Structure 1
Amino acid sequence: MSATASPRRTAVVVAAVIVLLVAAVLLSLTVGARAVPPAVVWRALTAPDPSNADHVVILTQRIPRTVIAVCAGGALALAGTVMQGLTRNPFADPGLLGINAGASLAVLTAITLLHVASPSGFVWFAFGGAAIAALVVAGIGGRGQEGGSPAKLALTGAAVTAGLTSITFLVLTTDIRALDVYRYWSVGGLTARGLDSVALVAPAIVAGAVLALIGARGLDLLALGTDTAAGLGHRAGRSRAIGITATILLCGGATAIAGPIVFLGLLVPHALRALVGGSYRRLLPLGIPVGAAVLLLSDVAGRVIALPGEVQAGIVVAFLGAPMLIGLVLHRRPVAL
């Protein structure tokens, strides 16, 4: 486990994270193809005028996508931190349990069999597919005398992901109509979804966040090694069950409202470890606002880099995350988990 930062440094990081999140929210509400001054945003929030075009943009477009980014970004960062702690794998992310692949196949099934065409209609299918895939991985990977070891969970997740992805590609190559609908959802974005979609999955995300925070101490003990944790009286199976359940709830909810956004859950924990050390009791609470801010800023960047159009937030996150992942792979020092 990496050294823990001093209380003073941690306090500075917490303050910086709060400022970052507030700035990201402000930018999300004011920046875009239609720039809206902060004063107008405030009036739209406190005294909305249906006849004012700026107020309509704020209330019907920017507030929903800001709320979605906060919920999805925080959930994915939290889930990625939990997954890295559970598997003791620095390259683990929410997709490790087949969550993205399961959600994608479920959405594609909804498109092809039930003719669902609206992103808001994909919510329950994405959540259900993510949950089923993760449960299958946990069930198969947890078999045997040693239970759900990190290596078994990672290998099982990779196998299930490969299988589900191949089925998804098979359907897409044979159904052009499905491809036209699916490709917009698959890149990960915050548009065309409303607060009603958030309301559907918010209980799951909140429950997952609570479980993840409850399991922080268990992850700290698992970082010492399974045998050491057991010698200290810790039940590793209980921590894994809590962590896997939290990951299913967090990733299922986030993927349902924002699509399969990659890299965010992988990179945020590493950035925070460099600032506050490896204690999960610090990493997990800080991961929520940092993940939210990263997704918000990615969405803002996507609005302005291709005017008059925009680039989906999932593409921006992937574009920024790929070189960072390469740098992580080439890093000479091992990452302490």
Structure 2
Amino acid sequence: MGLVALGLGVLAVALLTCSILVGSGEIPTSRVVDYLLGHPDAVADPQLQMVINTLRVPRTLTAVLVGAGLGVAGTLLQSATRNPLAETGLLGVNSGAALGVVLGISYAGVESGYGYLVWAFTGAAVASALVLLIARTGGAMVSPLRLVLAGAALGATFRGIMASILLRQPNSYDQYRFWVIGSLSGVDMSIALRMLPAVVIGLLAAVLVARPLSALHLGDDAARALGHRPGVVRVVVAVVVTLLAGASVAMAGPVAFLGLLAPYLARAVAGPRVLAQVALSGLAGVVLMLASDVLARVVIRPYEAPVSVLLAIVGGPALILIVRSRRLMTLRTES
């Protein structure tokens, strides 16, 4: 596993470098290298400064945050629900974020990236809070089944409300569709820096919750015997997933499949060790997101393809592989 982690780390650094060097425009890579090395003529070029400092660096940082956030969130969610096909939309996070953006556009006049950020993150947080509230209704313990059912029901409700609003306000749909397609184009440094604390706190919390989450794989009774409280652990996991997925969706829109693919790759290497899965899924998410974003800039150059489309092209066949694999469908993390 150490070699795989090292390989993913090296690949992530290489892709990060490519993300800075490669773009959809006509600026040659050699000019970018000159700028990074501090050559006077390159540093004095205002267009080069704008492209690197305003476009590529913020975009690269956002790709790292989104990749790590969605990858780790998917691993936590799959472990907590014991479902190898679980991803961040399962707790209603994506639907809540989308409804938040629609409400912001339709009733608050939101038109900027920062406005989308605030409304998307707020919607994701409210959705997760409602899921937890519904799952605990009547004082019942928060179980994987109750979380999944509450998330699915609330997500469907949010999608219905959102569709109703968009049908009555077609102008709002024109703005919403650019956000919902999932892309890193247009992300600026202020957006990435505002979501950085949420992602960092979420990643640190994921490391801390890994051990009690591993105990849940032995069964709730065994986890209690080891001093853990299964219901509390699942609530903490839901909160951490909200931080990671909510911040990621707010920055890049509802990027599909990443929260499914990265945990799958991590589980295939790390087996049932949750902490190892968390580390590997974060690295795998960064690699997948950076690779998809770099490809998105060059496949139809000088235009850009949405990064979510490229992830879906990879994610669709991967989902079929997971469904057809008996070994993976048994979810090795439950052993």
- Report the TM-score range of the alignment, normalised by the length of the smaller protein: over 0.9
Amino acid at match of 1:215: V
Task: State the distance in 2 between where 1:296 and 1:240 align.
Answer: 30
2:302, 2:237 → 1: CA distance?
43
Deviations 1:253-272 (A, max 9, x none): 11111111111111111111
Q: 1:21 aligns with which of 2, 12, 19?
A: 12
SS at match of 1:29: helix
Give the length in aligned residue pairs: 328
Counterparts of 1:153 and 1:178, CA distance in 2: 31
Q: Which residue in the other structure is 1:68 paired with?
A: 62
Q: CA deviation at 1:289?
A: 2.1
Contact 1:40 1:55 in 2 (8 A): no
Please state if 1:83 is matched with 2:77.
yes
The answer to whether the 8 A contact 2:54-2:189 is kept is no
The answer as to whether partners of 2:72 and 2:282 remain within 8 angstroms in 1 is yes
Q: Separation in 1 of the partners of 2:227 and 2:72?
A: 26
Report the Cα distance in structure 2 between the residues aligned to 1:46 and 1:158, rounded to whole angstroms.
51
Does the 8 A contact of 2:81 with 2:145 survive in 1? yes
Superposition deviation, residue 46 in structure 1? 5.5
**Who is 2:35 aligned against?**
44
Instruction: Specify the alignment match of 2:48 in structure 1.
Output: 54
* Residue ranges of structure 2 left out of the alignment (5+ in a row): none
Pair 1:201-2:192 in alignment = no
Question: Following superposition of structure 1 onto structure 2, how do residues 76-155 of structure 1 map, counting pairs within 5 Å?
Answer: 76-144=70-138, 146-155=140-149
Name which of 226, 233, 240 aligns with 1:232.
226
Q: Report the equivalent of 1:31.
A: 22
- Equivalent residues of 1:30, 1:36 under 8 A apart: no
Deviation at 1:32, TM superposition (A): 2.5
1:167 to 2:158 alignment: no
CA distance in 1, matches of 2:176, 2:313: 20
The equivalent of 1:336 in structure 2 is 332
Give, in whole Å, the separation in 1 of the partners of 2:69 and 2:227. 30
Bigger helix fraction? 2
| From 156, 166, 179, the counterpart of 2:173 | 179
**Alignment partner of 1:173: what SS?**
helix
Read off the aligned partner of 2:269 and give its amino acid letter. Answer: L
Unaligned runs of 5+ in 1: 1-9
Question: Is this contact kept in 1: 2:142–2:235, CA < 8 A?
Answer: no
Q: Secondary structure at the match of 2:137?
A: coil
Residue of structure 2 equivalent to 1:290: 284
Letter in 1 for 2:161: I
TM-score with structure 2 setting the length: 0.93
Offset from partner CA, 1:138-184 (integer Å, 9 cap, x none): 11112345411000100110000000011111222222211110001
Distance in 2, matches of 1:216 and 1:202, equals 21
327-336 or 191-200, which deviates more:
327-336
- Partner residue in 2 for 1:310: 304
Cα deviation, residue 326, structure 1 = 1.6
Q: Is the 8 A contact 2:82 2:331 kept in 1?
A: no
The answer as to whether partners of 1:205 and 1:249 remain within 8 angstroms in 2 is yes
Report the Cα offset of residue 204 of structure 1.
Answer: 1.3
Computed over aligned residues only, the root mean square deviation of the Cα atoms, in angstroms, reads 1.7
Q: Provide the rounded CA distance (Å) in 1 between the counterparts of 2:83 and 2:28.
A: 44
Distance 1:41 1:227 in 2: 58
Secondary structure of residue in 1 paired with 2:168: coil
